[in-house]
Amino acid sequence: MKVFGFAGMSGSGKTTLIEQIIPRLVMEGLRVSVVKHAHHDFDIDRPGKDSWRHREAGATEVMITAGHRWVLMHELRGGPEPELPEHLRRLSPCDLVLVEGFKRQPIPKLEIHRRAAGKPLLHPDDPHIVAVATDELLDTALPQFGLEDYDLIAAFIMGHLGLGAPTLLASGQAVQC
């Protein structure tokens, strides 16, 4: 299982970029999973539903299953938040895990940067950033992509991780990995 991250400040477009990259990787025959780190409290459950009531009663884990999907909710109950490797061990086998957030983890990452955000770049201080998607030309030796160069970014990820020769190169452009 290969792992590739997307790092950037809030509002930089990480989720949109990942959303566009996933179908391109799937079209290449890859099984893709995603781990998303939230910096805020979240709940996928709704008050009053059976699963919510079970968690409120004190269950550490509640699994909901149906004909098309299943979900496992785990309450930390005051325990420490697991690190990325522990989350990765819980995933079903796949070819590639895309990671949104966990920007300080030692995994290869694409930095997403928007000039209008006025935030500092991450890559000068993070040796694990291997490329940048941005809306401005940067003074860096790292490969740079436009924020909407979805085919090229997907091809770069595949090449960088050794996941085969991508067939989705846009308009015959070469990707340097």
3-class DSSP string for the chain:
CEEEEEECCCCCCHHHHHHHHHHHHHHCCCCEEEEECCCCCCCCCCCCCHHHHHHHCCCCEEEEECCCCEEEEECCCCCCCCCHHHHHHHCCCCCEEEEECCCCCCCCEEEEECHHHCCCCCHHHCCCEEEEEECCCCCCCCCEEECCCHHHHHHHHHHHHCCCCCCCCHHHCCCCC
Say how far apart CA 77 and CA 137 lie, in whole Å: 46
Tokens of 21: 């990259």
Angle, vertex CA 13, rays to CA 11 and CA 14, nearest 5: 105
Q: What's the pLDDT at 44?
A: 77
Nearest by Cα to 25 from 133, 145, 168:
168
pLDDT in tens, 9-34: 888 899 999 999 999 999 999 999 99
Domains and CATH numbers, the chain: 2-40+80-172 (3.40.50.300)
pLDDT in tens, 77-126: 889 989 999 999 999 999 999 999 888 899 999 999 999 888 899 999 99
pLDDT in tens, 39-74: 767 677 788 888 888 988 888 888 888 889 888 888
Residue 171 — very low, low, confident or very high, per pLDDT cuts 50/70/90?
Answer: very low
Does residue 25 contact residue 166 with C-beta atoms inside 8 Å?
Answer: no
